[in-house]
Amino acid sequence: MLKEWNKISLLYSMEPLMRLPEEIYCIKPHSYESLGAPYGNFASPWWLRKEVIRRLLLAEDLLRKTVPHLRLAVFDAWRPIRVQKFMYDYSINQECLSRGIDPISDKDTPALVDVVKLVSRFWASPSFDKSNPPPHSTGGAIDLTLATNDGNLVDMGGEIDLITPVSDPDYYLQSALTGDNFSASLWQLRRNLLANVMKLSGFVQHPNEWWHFSYGDQMWAWSTSATAGLYGSVDDDDSESKFIIT
């Protein structure tokens, strides 16, 4: 399913993908690799575009200056499109399982259409169309949360990749404004903190996901009123692989 930002044109920058530097904390083992996502021998989820890494380091520095006992914790970064397809299909199958739907025998039924529509709010279609690449396949999108300096993840009021309204960045805002629920207020405060340091570093936030931020992709261009996105997809098995620096 196409999103509004898929209408934005792309410049197809040849800026390379690079490994995340050691000062950025990555949550390991990687969740999708543990599920069997087909990264292969060469690909790694811990890569981003060079400029995206620079801005991520700015966000890390800003967070540490604001709240010294916290750091950024990266959950996921670059995904080859085959990994995007694996996780998209996996999420649909898991949602079907929870609803008692058979994705094969119930194909094209309203129940399955509803599942696909819900999952597509959180997971981009694994499109091989160069004009509307999945955000994570561009190397411009990142999923992350907060952690303490010793690596303990901070409770944000909902797990990453949770396909429910709880994932909305401002889900706890009303409770925070009324002050009638301390935990909800704390979760909203933490989400705001993460969003603020990322936005001040040039990223934009996904409207449905508190953990997803991007720079240079179509969603970033759409959110900032830029005339075009900077990054197309990068796959390790196509001609653009030469722009991956290991």
> Rg of the Cα trace of the chain?
18
- Cα 149 from chain centre: 22
- State how far the Cα of 99 lies from the Cα of 101, in Å rounded to an integer: 6
CA atoms within 13 A on the CB side of 75: 19
* 142 dihedral zone (left: phi>0; alpha: psi -120 to 50; beta): beta
- State how far the Cα of 141 lies from the Cα of 158, in Å rounded to an integer: 20
One of 51, 60, 95, 209 is an active-site residue; which one? 209
- Catalytic, 209? Answer yes
Q: What are phi and psi of 232, to 5 degrees?
A: -90, -175
Spell out a b/e string for 225-234, using b for 16 or more CB atoms within 10 Å of the CB, else e. Answer: eeeebbbbbb
In the numeric block, the tokens 């509307």 are attached to 132
List the catalytic residues: 209
